Amino acid sequence: MLVAGGLIEWLQGSLDRAADWHDMGRNLIGAWLVLAWAHRPRRSATGVGLARLLVTALLLWELGLVAVIGLRQWQLAIQLPLLYDFAQPDPQRFWDGQVQRSTRYSGLSDREFSLRVELDTERYSGASLDNLASDWRDYRHLVLILYNPDQDPLAMTLRINDRAHDRGNNAYEDRFHTRLVVAPGLNRFAVPLTDVQQAPAGRAMAMDAIRRLLLFTSRQPAPRTVYLLDLRLQ
């Protein structure tokens, strides 16, 4: 069973699909649970009892993880239309990239905190919001407020994709992307969500299954810093 499950996950990975080893582990826990409780020992029940105890503990641990994820998704949903709570003390729970909570320029958006994003000179550098509310169907625009503390404009790319894109081959034409020129000082951008929905070639983006939002630069001549002051749906 373990070999078969591993082979399936490997084949999915080789076909440009994300191999979810955690899913395979959950399947194994379910199989072990059935085997442990269905087996009726004829002699000593000690070994079977220990097996049942272990598998039941694994099941309870897995259910606890599911409950935590469910609670987090509920919290993300009730904070809409805000896509990110800038008061979060640890942005890394939500963002991937060089980000940290800051108080600089936050007053320009009537907030206590902003998000500082460090940009380096790599091919791609920025921040990816991977933990966000997924259902955007009731809104018309995505609103971003960015502050550029430098004297030169900063060219950034905004990218958005849904779950279907993550499970596919990550094709460039299967996601939304647009260029944002962040002028010195305060900048407000309003992106029509109809543009996001119509962006993938040959299909409509699932606006109830948004998976990821990225803000990034490409091959900057020198490191830069930008501050995100607001990120919401409207």
| Distances from the Cα of 165 to the Cα of 18, 43, 169, 199, angstroms | 11, 54, 7, 12
pLDDT of residue 128: 98
Q: Cα(7)–Cα(112) distance, rounded to whole angstroms?
A: 50
Q: Cα(210)–Cα(200) distance, rounded to whole angstroms?
A: 13
Judge whether 83 and 233 are in contact, CB under 8 Å: yes
Residues 6+ apart with CB under 8 A from 155: 179, 180, 181, 182, 217
pLDDT of residue 56: 74
* Domain co-membership, 34 together with 57: yes
pLDDT of residue 4: 41
Considering its fold, how many domains does the chain have in total? 2
* Domain co-membership, 206 together with 100: yes
Is position 134 within any domain? Answer: yes
* Domain co-membership, 181 together with 66: no
Is position 138 within any domain? Answer: yes
pLDDT of residue 83: 96
* Domain co-membership, 134 together with 41: no
* Domain co-membership, 158 together with 223: yes
* Domain co-membership, 60 together with 158: no
Is position 86 within any domain? Answer: no
Residues 6+ apart with CB under 8 A from 29: 55, 58, 59, 62
Q: Cα(93)–Cα(75) distance, rounded to whole angstroms?
A: 13
List the domain range (segments joined by +) for residue 60: 2-78
Judge whether 226 and 117 are in contact, CB under 8 Å: yes
pLDDT of residue 24: 60
- Per-residue pLDDT for the chain (234 aa), expressed as one digit of tens each? 444 444 444 444 443 344 455 566 666 666 666 666 665 665 556 666 776 677 777 777 666 665 555 656 656 668 999 999 999 999 999 999 999 999 999 999 888 999 999 999 999 999 999 999 999 999 999 999 999 999 999 999 999 999 999 999 899 999 999 999 999 999 999 999 999 999 999 999 999 999 999 999 999 999 999 999 999 999
pLDDT of residue 141: 99
* Domain co-membership, 124 together with 214: yes
Last residue of a domain, one of 46, 78, 110: 78
* Domain co-membership, 135 together with 37: no
24-41 burial by CB neighbour count: b if 16+ within 10 A, else e?
A: bebeebeebbeebeeeee
pTM of the entire predicted model? 0.72
Q: Cα(31)–Cα(12) distance, rounded to whole angstroms?
A: 21
Last residue of a domain, one of 37, 53, 78: 78
**Shortest CA distance to 207 belongs to which of 160, 171, 173, 151?**
160
Kindly state the helix (H) or strand (E) to which residue 127 belongs, with its residue range: strand 125-129
